[in-house]
Homo-oligomer: A and B are copies of this chain.
Amino acid sequence: VETTVRVELGERSYDVAVVRGGGPERVAALVRGLAPSGVVVVTDATVARLHGEAMLAAIRAAGRLPAQVVVVPGESSKSVGGVERVWRGLLAAGLDRQGLVVAHGGGVVGDLAGFAAATWLRGVRVVHAPTTLLSMVDSAVGGKTGIDLDGKNLVGAFHQPSGVVADLAWLETLDPGELRAGLGEVWKTAILAGGEPFERLERGGRDDLLPVVLDCVRHKAAVVTRDERDEGERASLNLGHTLGHALEVMLGLRHGEAVALGIAFVVRLAVGIGRLDATVAERILSVGRGLDLPLALPRRVGLGELRPLLRRDKKALAGEVRWILPTGLGSWTQAPVPEPAIEAALTDIAPG
């Protein structure tokens, strides 16, 4: 099985390797090829405890002396204070323009370390070593980096990595809730990709994650190649995220769970305004149920309390929300939706 996906971006092209074990050695080989001198591994305390020593040892075995910057696990590190701590770690390590950052962790570590690398000395290289399903299938690929500022990812940069290594062995220590949440982004990608990726999930084929992760990485890579700077098609990857981001903040949900709820919502919304066939909608929702994803809100949510949060979405700061809507398997559109339809879809996903 070919387990490498190329992200084609001209001179910024890179490979995403999906492997079963041996991740630290794959990262170390990349480090040796890319960095003549300084290497800083940015990670969080949980990943450092479980997988940090193996990563550092592999890089040492490749003849480099890595420094390590450890941040607090969780979204709170994706902040101005969090990125300042990483910058100060790069300063303490004396990381120069030829240096390399390795982002070893989940989506928070990848977004944070990627943004720090994008802005350190006006840009040094980064290799992503994602340890969660969510970051393997989505955030580690495509070069979006950033931190939160009240709203999610309001500050950031486009900064493509020089390589990505996703080792499925890292998922074995993942909290089961985190793994399930990651399936939210898998579900999203399968809907957008359609075809075999969707049918694989429909057949219940999620026990072997390797082909599932590869499906997602391939779809993401293709979209990023066509629209690196998020000026068109890449907006589709926000399927479920407009409501998802709001729910994540409001209800304190995991990102992937919030996205799953957001997808259930836009599926109802698309049916409600006549853009999606009810039979296809049922197939989509059935796959979500098969992935054990939450498809109903933990409590009733009204448009009144959502509105200020939706307005903080970075695509709608000064205007109306334009929803990403599925129009079939492998097809989508983006459009504003009248408030009564939004209210109706919120009722559809209200707690039973």
Stretch at the interface among A88-96, A187-195, A211-219: A88-96
Known A87-B149, A88-B149, A91-B151: A118·B315 in contact at CB below 8 Å: no
Stretch at the interface among A12-20, A155-163, A339-347: A155-163
Interface: A121 (CB within 8 A): yes
B91 & A318 in contact (Cβ 8 Å cutoff): no
Over the window 306-344 of chain A, the binary record of Cβ atoms lying under 8 Å from chain B Cβ atoms (1 yes, 0 no) is 000001001111110000000000000000000000000
Interface: A154 (CB within 8 A): yes
B95 & A318 in contact (Cβ 8 Å cutoff): yes
- Among B91, B150, B157, B316, which residue has its beta carbon within 8 angstroms of that of A123? B157
Interface: A80 (CB within 8 A): yes
A346 to chain B, nearest CB (A): 24
Interface residues of A in 178-205 (CB under 8 A from B): none
Interface residues of A in 69-102 (CB under 8 A from B): 80, 84, 87-88, 91, 94-99
**Residues in B neighbouring A37, C-beta threshold 8 A:** 318-319
Interface: A128 (CB within 8 A): no
Query: Which of the listed residues A94, A157, A318 has the most CB atoms from chain B within 10 Å of its own CB?
Result: A318
B157 & A318 in contact (Cβ 8 Å cutoff): no
A120 & B38 in contact (Cβ 8 Å cutoff): no
Taking CB as reference atom, which chain B residue is nearest A146? B122
Q: Using a CB–CB distance below 8 Å, which chain A residues touch chain B?
A: 37-38, 80, 84, 87-88, 91, 94-99, 115, 118-123, 144, 146, 149-151, 153-158, 230, 311, 314-319
Write 29 A-B pairs (CB below 8 A) sorted by A numbering: A37-B319, A80-B84, A80-B87, A84-B149, A87-B149, A87-B155, A88-B149, A91-B149, A91-B150, A91-B154, A94-B311, A95-B317, A95-B318, A96-B314, A96-B315, A96-B316, A96-B319, A97-B315, A97-B317, A115-B119, A118-B157, A119-B119, A119-B157, A120-B155, A121-B154, A121-B314, A122-B144, A122-B146, A123-B158
